[in-house]
Each structure stands twice: as C-alpha cells, then as structure tokens.
A and B are shown apart, each in its own frame.
Chain A
Amino acid sequence: MLSSILAISLGAILTNNFIFSQFLGICPFLGCSSKVDTATGMGLAVVFVMGLASAICWVIDTYILIPLGLAFLETLAFILVIASLVQFVEMFLKKSVPSLYEALGIYLPLITTNCAVLGVVLLNVQNNYNFLESVVYGITGGIGFMLAIVLFASVRERIQFADYPENFEGFPICLVSAALVALAFMGFSGMQIF
C-alpha cells in the first residue's frame, strides 16, 4: 500500500512529470511562466484544484456514474465538476483568504481550461486508482506541475540576457528552452522505483 503510494508520487513528480513527459497543461505552463512569483502562485492553485478535483470526481464516478451505467458521460460530468469547483474555490478564497485570492488573480478561473486538471481525473479512471491513490496522484501531479513551471520561470528570467536569433523572439525561444528543460527531466526516466 505504502509502496504503491510512494511509486505514484515519485512517478507523478519526476519520471512521468505532467508537463515534460505527458504534455498536459502546456498552455498555462507557457502563459504564466514569465516571472517566478506568478509561476509559484499558479502552481499552488493547480496543486489545490487538482487534489480536490481528483477526490470529488472519484466519488462522483464511483457512487453515481458507474452504478447508473453512465460511465460514457464521464468527460461531460468531470468538466462540469471542475468548472464549478474552480468557481467555488474562487468565491471561498475571495471571502475568507482575500490575500491569496489577490495573489492568484486571473489565474484562478483559467485553471478550468487547464488540461492537466481534466487529464489527472481521466487518468485516475483509466488506471483504476482507488480513492487514496487518486487523491495522491492529483496532489503529486500538481506538485510536479509546480516544480516544472517554477524551474522554467527561472530559466525564462535568464533568457532575456541571452543572444538568440531575432526571429525566435517571444514564443519560439520559450519552446526551445522548454525542450532543453525537458531534456534534463529525461534524466529521471531511467529511474526504477520498486
């Protein structure tokens, strides 16, 4: 039990990192990584939402959709859960933790269209994870996302001093440097856990 949890967490953070090996959540990864502090805020919000979404969607899938034979509506149900969850978290934070709400700002509603969140929920179903494993996979997947986006933001802060071809200005140079960070993450891929 414990070893499977450990394997799931290490896999989600390092070997099967959501961004660098599964390509989930690239849009916010490229969009919100120009500064380290916004990247950290986005990362924290994603950890929170991914953990909660995994838990809620597991319950809905196991106790409502599967018993009623509605498993084919999973995608539809999950995206609605995520959208309302994000809305709810936004209202809750606004009322009770205004400082965090201010810090996250525009990034919070954008999490709805982050494919890492819907991706983790669908992968939970695909891998037949139980409740605990789903929640752990959600949270550690979020931590992996945060690690990647914070690392990449610090790389990007240094790009401005680099001398690259002017036609690569902006997005292309980001992609090329993301490729190099992905290359570094490949070092983990040979790692065997249990």
Chain B
Amino acid sequence: MYFRTKLKEGVITNNPILVQQLGMCATMAITTTLFNGVGMGLSVLIILTCCNVCVAAIRKIIPEEIRLAIFVVVIAGFVTIVDLLLQAFIPALSSALGVFIPLIVVNCIIIGRAEAFCQKNTVGASFVDGITQGLGYTCVLILMCLIRELLGSGRFGGGLIDITNGFRFTMDGTGAGIQLFPSDYGASILNLPFGGFLTLGVIFGTMQYALKKSAKKKEAAEQAAAAAAAAAAKEVDE
C-alpha cells in the first residue's frame, strides 16, 4: 500500500522532473535513442536508491553544518562505482552518455532527495523513495526518447531492439531499432538541442494541463458532495 502511494507520487504527482523541476541537463541532452534513455534512467535509479539508503542510515550522526559536503561525497562515491561498472560491462552506454555519467554527481534530484526526504525518514522509507523517484525520472526520459526518436528519425527503440533475426533486446547498443517510416521523412531537428528544449516544454505544458484538470475535477466533486450534504441536511430539518 505504502509502495503504491509512493509510486503514484514519484511517477505523477511529485515527479522529479515534471513537478519538482530538478535534473534538467541530462534529460534534454541524452534522450535521443531509447538505449541512452533507459541506460541513464536505470543508472540514476540505482545511484539514487543507494544514496538514499546510505544517507538515511547515517542521518543521525551527520553534523548539520557539513551535511551537504557529506552528501556530495556519498553521491560521488556511488557515481564513481556505477561509472566504472558501466565502463567495464556496457562500454557502448558509457561512451554514448559520455560526460553525463560522472555529472550525475551534480544532478539535483539526488542531493534534493537526500536533503528533503532521507534526512527525516527511516532506511526502509528512503529505499522505497529512491526506487519510486528513480522510476519517475526513468519514465520521463523514456517518454522523451520515444517522442524524439519517432518524430525525429521515424524509429522505435534504437540501440535496444534488434529485429533482423527475430525480435530480441540488445544490451550492447548495436540494435538498429524498428524503422516505422524512412528517416528522411523525420523532423531531424528534434534530434538537435532545439528538439530537447521543445519536447520537454511541450511535455511540461501537457502535464500542467492534466494536473489542473484533475484538480478542477476534484474540486467539482467536492462541491457536489458538499451541495448534496447541505440538501440532505435541509431535508432532515424540514
């Protein structure tokens, strides 16, 4: 139950990118193929979960004044571990993401969660928070990748899916993806920095529209309930 509420919070109502507006740089820079997006999302998820657990475990012995420095050291440690593991086991991902893997250190999501959540909560709660927030981040990255890849080059799942010899997933980034229409017809500008800003802007706008609409619906439902209650009360009076 707790996990489900947290999951809804992480993916929709308190999404790290779309609602908290954290961690923009990598979101726009690397979302050109599904392979990059999934790789980056999972790396952040793992680092975020490890850091959350670590910070929550030591939260009672951290002196208030130097907590940020301690958070940064913890984060940098985990980022280095993930960076080295990727270099060793998935070199294609490591070279595709380049400088953005070490830059997870200064990704505001991780330090933001440490400061806002893990400082005050138990290890278990922080673990769940890390996973759900990480999933929220991954979802937005995947959405960006899907839109930019499809409209930009008419492809689906570049680097991650290969269909030349039957359907299979490629973990080394060599899969060509599924070509839905010839890439010449794609708006290749979406693969450039311009497309990053524009796609995220449009997703953001849509999200605001959806949140506003659901808030209005809730309000209307509450008003209707209040009116019904008032009418019932009146009836009782009479």
Query: Which residues of A pack against B, CB within 8 Å?
Result: 20-27, 30, 72-76, 79-80, 83, 112-115, 118-119, 122-123, 126, 165, 167-176, 178-180, 182-183, 185-186
Contact = CB atoms under 8 A, between A and B. Distances in A.
A96 to B, nearest CB: 24
B233 interface: no
B110 to A, nearest CB: 10
Contacts of B98: 126
B99 interface: yes
Instruction: Report, nearest first, the 7 A-B pairs whose CB atoms are least far apart.
Output: A175-B201, A179-B197, A23-B29, A172-B205, A172-B204, A176-B201, A167-B209
Interface in B186-210: 189, 192-198, 200-202, 204-206, 208-209
Contacts of A22: 29
Contacts of A83: 68-69, 72
A73 B73 CA distance: 11
Secondary structure call for the A interface: helix
Given A118-B106, A175-B197, A178-B197, A24 B80 contact: no
Contacts of B21: 30, 171
Contact of A75 (B69, B76, B206): B76
Contacts of B29: 22-23
Interface string B23-39: 11110110000000000
Interface residues of B, number: 44
B79 interface: yes
Nearest to B22: A27
Interface of B: 21-26, 28-29, 68-69, 72-73, 76-77, 79-80, 83-84, 98-99, 102-103, 105-108, 111, 189, 192-198, 200-202, 204-206, 208-209, 212
B69 A186 contact: no
B99 A126 contact: yes
Contact of B103 (A76, A112, A115): A115
A176 B68 CA distance: 33
Contact of B208 (A80, A172, A182, A183): A172
A49 B107 CA distance: 19
Contact of B198 (A25, A80, A114, A179): A179
B196 A167 contact: no
Contact of A175 (B84, B192, B200): B200
Nearest to B18: A171
